[in-house]
């Protein structure tokens, strides 16, 4: 629930400070806005971690909220009055003395715990106790926090379950409901998903509109439809007999749909270079979400890294928000060089800030200060506080894959065997739509048609 | 990709000893054989080392049981666990943080006094704790379910993968060849003597074959004509996201049919069971077990309800009617040795590996191992052990 007056700001406490936020703005965005880039530390080497993906995928932003540990701060909205604290680091998450483990990595390589004190059982036990104190993340929940997340169980009887409420998911739900089926649509947060933060133009039902505007229209249609139940939650897993439990606020919904439509979108892919986990290195959809949904601009100078046409769109969004885009690095050696991706040469308007090269490193102690870019064999260091990683995304088809593994009866069967396969073509009762199915551009009309076929019992 | 310790290339045409199964039993036995000078040993596994129940168990360790047989076997194991890091040159993260068998009723607590007296008689040190002492030890436990318990201070838990890796590397260093991706289809015997195994890589001759095939050990027995009353059972566990230490010791609760501990990483790891056993041969997890585990663990630790589940998994074992392992030479087939029917297998492996290897090398069966021979099942005798967190289904 957001406040009745959407323009009024709400306040919460962050490690003793009072921060304000617009209602609905994410906790992470409010912390970033206050000038704090480090949200947590990595498990063993205590590397600083910050806002990265924007969609509860990467695990770099858990905080403790009102005594409840492990709350994803990039997607959890501020409601007002929360007490928020970070979880790792001693004496604080900002300045962690245990960061020394990363600097001394030569002496504590991966698996060092299995080499410690092998012949000194007493010391080994002591070391293990010390490790236990350092490890962990948040503290054990308070009784109040644990009570607040109690759930009741309910059985959902809808014919069609649509998982994911982006453009494709909403269109599929409308299609299925339009052909007479009862539909449950599960989506975490506001309907529209990543489309809410995009500027691309999409055609649906013979009309062309910006993605965010169309997302708003589809969301209203879905919410108004009497045969569509919208659940703000996430799917737990796909179990034998087709059981798909959904976890929502205070509720576990046991779904056993006749037809499952997977519309879970895509994942942003991280870049591979030293320092790619540094606060300030942010994946493209995370950048868009901060700018367009949370309406926070915590950066001044940006480098955009891309392997295709997403770079220009992100540069535009950043510039419109007042961020100076100092370079767009078009990665070489990604994909098939004989078939350049559309736009990969850079637009005329991008001029000489387009660098054909490779990001070699992200520099900075606690947060990004500069990016090393190699162009024609020479490394240039470019000052920036944002490195936006805009690479071709990967389909988020986990749920569909899980369905295949469960059907096979063993997680050891056919490892990787379904990668790239069209799962909906071969499996009755399962459809995959949108970028989860690897569709390369938004096609809500096609998603609606798939949903309609699923709803009429004709979907394969 | 080859794991450290796993041999590259196909197995030879023959070995002195072939061990079927590169789980903790097979690897411990192979390591102990090599230690006693028998190094022409092949360990064959159709999957990866530790891929079965050895990497799916609750990794808890104790020797305070109600029967002499269990207490003595597992006490040898517990002693081995405390020296294993030094011996294998690999820190297995053995944590002697204590092991509590929780009593949830006052009646149960009264019986624990008798059990503790017996344990003292077997030479196993344990203490009976009252409700207040248990609350101090496990402050986050629901006081309604924590009436008291038996606490074994030097027991605890270890990192189960580290134990597998430690044995694997040490065995490989000593000359044992461990093969991954070799499926054993049958045990070959002739004239009441084992002659080798049939695999998807051809026949391999051996004077001694050790069955350490976990859930599949009964299938293997049948190929050698060895019939024992074993059934498959499927178990599930869950692990939560890591939190700061809130539970130091291992806890078993017969009342909830559950066992749990918190790892050095901070994860809470626990498994529960339902009455009866699930013979489904599937490694898929089920929603009803996930619910059972979540419900029971939140009953025992009410505030755990605020910690997110990270993942859950299933594992399979084969078990005997009395839930005790079967150790020693198989009846009717000389040279064919069994280390099977393990339900507390991770806990028992260091002792079983040593005793079985000793009996293979010397031909003498140690008094601690003798009660666990297969003969008991054929003669219809069972080992009565009352502190197991498992249902015997009225079958024993």
How do strand A430-432 and strand A259-262 relate by DSSP bridges?
A: parallel
Please indicate whether, in this complex, the C-beta atoms of B93 and A143 are within 8 angstroms of each other.
no
The CATH class that applies to domain A152-267+394-455 reads alpha beta
Structure tokens at A204: 């649906």
Do A2-99+138-148 and A152-267+394-455 show the same overall fold? no
Mutate to test the interface with A, among B236, B247, B306, B313 (most CBs of A within 10 A): B306
Q: Say what the pLDDT of residue A338 is.
A: 43
A317-to-A211, A289, A304 alpha-carbon distances in Å: 14, 11, 11
Q: How do residues B220-262 score in pLDDT, each as one tens digit?
A: 999 999 999 999 999 999 999 999 999 999 999 988 999 999 9
No. of H helices and E strands in chain B?
Answer: 9, 18
3-class secondary structure, B160 = helix
CA distance A17 to A202: 43
Q: Say what the pLDDT of residue A97 is.
A: 81
3-class secondary structure, B92 = coil
What interface predicted TM-score (ipTM) does this complex get?
Answer: 0.90
What is the third-level CATH fold of B96-156+232-319?
D-Amino Acid Oxidase; Chain A, domain 2 (3.30.9)
Please indicate whether, in this complex, the C-beta atoms of A133 and B245 are within 8 angstroms of each other.
yes
Q: How do residues B267-306 score in pLDDT, each as one tens digit?
A: 999 999 988 878 887 888 999 999 999 999 999 999 999 9
Cβ contacts of B83 on chain A, cutoff 8 Å: 121
3-class secondary structure, B178 = strand
Q: Say what the pLDDT of residue A5 is.
A: 54
Cβ contacts of A114 on chain B, cutoff 8 Å: 90-93, 159, 162, 165-166
Q: Say what the pLDDT of residue B2 is.
A: 64
**Residue A224 half-sphere exposure toward CB, CA atoms < 13 A:** 6
Nearby residues of B250 by Cβ (< 8 Å), 6 or more positions away? B60, B61, B62, B97, B98, B99, B100, B155, B156, B157, B259, B260, B261
| Residue of chain B with shortest Cα separation from A69 | B307
Residue B200: Cβ-neighbour burial (10 angstroms; 0-12, 13-18, 19+):
exposed
| CA dihedral sign of residues B23, B29, B32, B36 | negative
B118-to-A372, B64, B79, B110 alpha-carbon distances in Å: 70, 10, 19, 14
CA distance B30 to B341: 18
The CA radius of gyration of chain B, in Å to the nearest whole number, is: 20
Interface of B with A in 67-126 (CB under 8 A): 82-83, 85-86, 89-96
A20-to-A149, A299, B115 alpha-carbon distances in Å: 25, 19, 61
Q: pLDDT tens per residue, chain A (460 residues)?
A: 344 455 689 999 999 999 999 988 999 999 999 999 999 999 888 899 999 999 999 999 999 999 999 999 999 999 999 999 999 887 788 888 877 777 777 777 778 888 888 888 888 888 888 888 888 789 999 999 999 999 999 999 999 999 999 999 999 999 999 999 999 999 999 999 999 999 899 999 999 999 999 999 999 999 999 999 999 999 999 998 899 999 999 999 999 999 999 999 999 999 999 999 999 999 999 999 999 999 999 999 999 999 988 999 999 999 999 999 999 999 865 544 444 444 444 555 667 789 999 999 999 999 999 999 999 999 999 999 999 999 999 999 999 988 888 887 766 655 555 556 677 777 889 999 999 999 988 999 999 999 999 999 865 4
Please state which CATH number belongs to domain A2-99+138-148.
Answer: 3.10.20.440
CA distance B238 to B315: 11
3-state secondary structure chain A: CCCCCCCCCEEEEECCEEEEECCCCEHHHHHHHCCCCCCEECCCCCCEECCCCCCCCCCCCEEEECCEEEEECCCCECCCCCEEECCCCCECCCCEHHHHHHHCCCCCCCCHHHCCCCCCHHHHHHHHHHHHHHCCCECCCCHHHHHHCCCEEEEECCCEEEECCEHHHHHHHHHHHHCCCCEEEECCCCCEHHHHHCCCEEEECCEEEEHHHHHHHHHHHHHHCCCEEEECEEECCCEHHHEEEEEECCEEEEECCCEEEECCCEECCCCCCCCCCCCCEEEHHHHHHHHHHCCCCCCCEEEEEECCCHHHHHHHHHHHCCCEEEEEEEECCCCCCCCCCCCCCCCHHHHHHEEEEEEEEEECCCCCCEEEEEECCEEEEEECCEEEEECCCEECCHHHHHHHHHHHCCCCCCCCCCCCCCHHHHCCCEEECHHHHCCCCCCHHHHHHHHHHHHCCCCC
CA distance B308 to B292: 15
3-class secondary structure, B234 = strand
Q: How far is A432 from chain B (nearest CA, A)?
A: 22
CA A454 to chain CA centroid, nearest Å: 28
Paired residues of A231 in beta bridges: A186
Please state which CATH number belongs to domain A281-390.
Answer: 3.50.50.60
Place of tokens 């393990």: B342
Mutate to test the interface with B, among A65, A89, A114, A123 (most CBs of B within 10 A): A114
Domain boundaries, chain A: 2-99+138-148, 152-267+394-455, 281-390
Q: Please name the member of B262, B284, B305 whose beta carbon is closest to the beta carbon of A406.
A: B284
Q: Mean pLDDT for each 10-residue chunk of chain B (396 residues)? A: 81 98 98 98 96 96 96 98 96 95 90 93 95 96 94 97 97 97 97 97 98 97 97 95 95 93 95 87 90 96 96 95 97 97 97 98 98 96 87 45
How do strand A386-390 and strand A281-283 relate by DSSP bridges?
A: parallel
Q: Please name the member of B86, B287, B304 whose beta carbon is closest to the beta carbon of A245.
A: B287
Per-residue burial over A292-305, b = 16 or more CB atoms within 10 Å of its CB, e = otherwise: bbbebebbebbbbb
Cβ contacts of B303 on chain A, cutoff 8 Å: 140-143, 145-146
| Residue of chain A with shortest Cα separation from B248 | A129
The CATH class that applies to domain B14-55+161-230+321-379 reads alpha beta
Please indicate whether, in this complex, the C-beta atoms of B306 and A136 are within 8 angstroms of each other.
no
Query: Residues B80, B354: contact at Cβ < 8 Å?
Result: yes
């Amino acid at each position: 629930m957001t406040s009745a007056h959407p323009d009024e700001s709400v306040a919460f406490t962050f490690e003793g400070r009072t921060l304000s936020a617009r209602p609905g703005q994410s906790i992470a965005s409010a912390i970033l806005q206050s000038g704090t880039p480090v949200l947590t530390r990595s498990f063993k080497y205590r590397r600083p971690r910050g806002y990265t993906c924007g969609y509860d995928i990467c695990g770099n932003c858990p905080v403790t909220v009102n005594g409840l540990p492990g709350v994803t701060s990039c997607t959890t909205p501020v409601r007002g009055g929360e007490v928020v604290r970070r979880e790792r680091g001693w004496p604080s998450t900002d300045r962690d003395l245990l960061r020394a483990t990363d600097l001394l990595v030569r002496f504590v390589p991966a698996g060092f715990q299995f080499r410690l004190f092998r012949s000194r059982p007493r010391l080994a036990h002591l070391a293990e106790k010390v490790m236990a104190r350092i490890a962990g993340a948040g503290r054990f929940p308070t009784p109040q926090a644990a009570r607040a997340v109690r759930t009741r169980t309910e059985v959902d009887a809808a014919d069609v379950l649509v998982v994911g409420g982006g453009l494709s998911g909403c269109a599929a739900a409308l299609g299925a409901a339009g052909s007479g089926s009862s539909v449950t649509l599960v989506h975490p947060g506001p309907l529209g998903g990543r489309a809410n933060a995009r500027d691309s133009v999409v055609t649906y039902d013979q009309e062309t509109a910006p993605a965010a505007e169309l997302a708003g229209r589809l969301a209203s249609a879905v919410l108004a439809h009497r045969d569509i139940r919208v659940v703000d939650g996430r799917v737990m897993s796909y179990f034998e007999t087709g059981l798909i439990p959904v976890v929502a606020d205070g509720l576990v919904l046991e779904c056993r749909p006749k037809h499952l439509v997977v519309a879970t979108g895509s994942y942003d892919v991280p870049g591979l270079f030293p320092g790619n986990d540094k606060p300030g290195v942010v994946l493209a959809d995370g950048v868009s979400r901060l700018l367009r949904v949370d309406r926070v601009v915590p950066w001044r100078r940006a480098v955009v890294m891309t392997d295709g046409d997403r770079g220009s769109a992100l540069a535009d969004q950043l510039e419109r928000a007042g961020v100076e885009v100092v370079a767009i690095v078009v990665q070489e050696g990604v994909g098939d060089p004989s078939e350049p991706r559309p736009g990969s040469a850079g637009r005329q308007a991008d001029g000489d800030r387009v660098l054909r090269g490779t990001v070699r490193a992200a520099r900075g102690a606690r947060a990004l200060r500069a990016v090393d870019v190699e162009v024609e064999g020479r490394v240039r260091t470019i000052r920036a506080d944002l490195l936006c990683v805009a690479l071709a995304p990967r389909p988020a088809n986990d749920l569909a894959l899980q369905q295949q593994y469960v059907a096979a009866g063993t997680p050891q069967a056919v490892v990787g065997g379904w990668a790239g396969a069209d799962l909906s073509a071969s499996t009755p009762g399962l459809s995959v739509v949108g970028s989860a199915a690897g569709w390369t551009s938004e096609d809500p009309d096609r998603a609606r048609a798939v949903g309609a076929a699923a709803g009429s019992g004709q979907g394969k | 990709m080859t794991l450290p310790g796993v041999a590259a290339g196909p197995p030879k045409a023959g070995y002195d000893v072939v061990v079927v199964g590169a789980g903790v039993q097979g690897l411990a036995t192979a390591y102990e054989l090599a230690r006693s000078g028998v190094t022409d040993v092949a360990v064959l596994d159709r999957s990866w080392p530790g891929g079965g129940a050895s990497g799916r168990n609750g990794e808890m360790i104790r020797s305070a049981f109600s029967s002499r047989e269990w207490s003595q076997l597992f006490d040898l194991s517990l002693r081995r666990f405390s020296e294993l890091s030094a011996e294998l040159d690999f820190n297995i993260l053995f944590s002697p943080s204590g092991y509590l068998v929780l009593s949830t009723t006052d009646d149960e607590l009264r019986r624990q006094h008798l059990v503790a007296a017996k344990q003292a008689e077997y030479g196993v040190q344990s203490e009976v704790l009252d409700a207040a002492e248990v609350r101090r030890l496990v402050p986050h436990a629901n006081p309604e379910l924590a009436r008291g318990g038996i606490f074994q201070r030097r027991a605890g838990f270890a990192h189960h993968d580290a134990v597998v890796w430690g044995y694997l590397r040490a065995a490989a260093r000593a000359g044992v060849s461990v093969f991954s991706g070799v499926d054993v289809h049958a045990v070959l015997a002739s004239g009441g003597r084992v002659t080798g195994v049939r695999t998807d890589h051809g026949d391999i001759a051996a004077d001694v074959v050790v069955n350490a095939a976990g859930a599949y050990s009964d299938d293997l027995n049948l190929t050698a004509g060895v019939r024992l009353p074993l059934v498959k059972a499927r178990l599930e566990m869950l692990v939560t996201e890591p939190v700061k230490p809130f539970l130091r010791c291992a806890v078993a609760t017969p009342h909830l049919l559950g066992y749990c501990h918190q790892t050095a990483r901070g994860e809470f790891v626990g498994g529960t069971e339902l009455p009866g056993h699930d013979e489904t041969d599937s490694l898929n997890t089920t929603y009803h077990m996930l619910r059972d585990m979540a419900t029971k663990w939140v009953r025992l630790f009410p505030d755990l309800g605020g910690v997110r589940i990270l993942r859950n998994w299933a594992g399979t074992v084969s078990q005997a009617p009395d839930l005790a392992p079967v150790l020693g030479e198989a009846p009717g087939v000389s040279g064919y040795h069994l280390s099977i029917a393990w339900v507390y297998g991770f806990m028992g492996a260091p002792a079983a590996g040593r005793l079985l290897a000793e009996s293979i090398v010397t031909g003498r069966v140690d008094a601690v191992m003798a009660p666990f021979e297969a003969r008991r099942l054929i003669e219809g005798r069972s080992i009565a052990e009352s502190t197991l967190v498992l249902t015997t289904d009225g079958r024993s």
